[in-house]
Amino acid sequence: MGKFPVSDDKEKKLLLEMNRLGIKEEDLEEKFILGSGSGGQKVNKTSSCVQLVHKTSGIEIRCQKSRSQGFNRYYARKKLIEKLKEQLENEKSKKQQEIEKIRRQKKKRSKRAKEKMLNEKKKRGNLKNLRKNVKNEN
């Protein structure tokens, strides 16, 4: 092992998943390009961003998750596996599921649903008011 700076277990899982999906290292075109963003001068001077192209499917991945080139190589391959799974198995990626969940949460409620919710809140508030102590006025 020792191809990526991660534990042998993680590397083994990655390679097994690549084999399962039929991804060969020969099919991958890997380039190291200058990154951008946070990290200061070090990021601007070193080519730590990994650009990975899978020749057979045409999928292109760029990864700059870390300042380390080795970690970025590992993460780029993981992203490639996710994209291929999404295409082959027609399943939505975790990221896509999270985006849809947020979209549903932000979606504006209909007037009827909003009225119903507000009515429920008013009922609940009235119930709470009934629980308050009653003052004796004698």
The CATH code belonging to domain 8-91 is 3.30.160.20
Cβ atoms of 54 and 27 within 8 Å: the answer is yes
Q: Where are the alpha helices (DSSP H) in the chain?
A: 8-21, 41-45, 69-88, 94-106, 111-130
Q: Which pLDDT score is estimated for 92?
A: 66
Question: Can you give the pLDDT at residue 120?
Answer: 96
Domain limits, the chain: 8-91, 95-130
121 DSSP 8-state letter: H
pTM given for the model: 0.65
Low-confidence spans in the chain with pLDDT less than 70 = 1, 89-93, 136-138
So what's the pLDDT on residue 137? 65
Length of the chain equals: 138
Q: Which helix (H) or strand (E) holds 132?
A: none
What is the predicted pLDDT for the residue at 90?
Answer: 66
Integer Cα distance of 126 and 62 in angstroms: 56
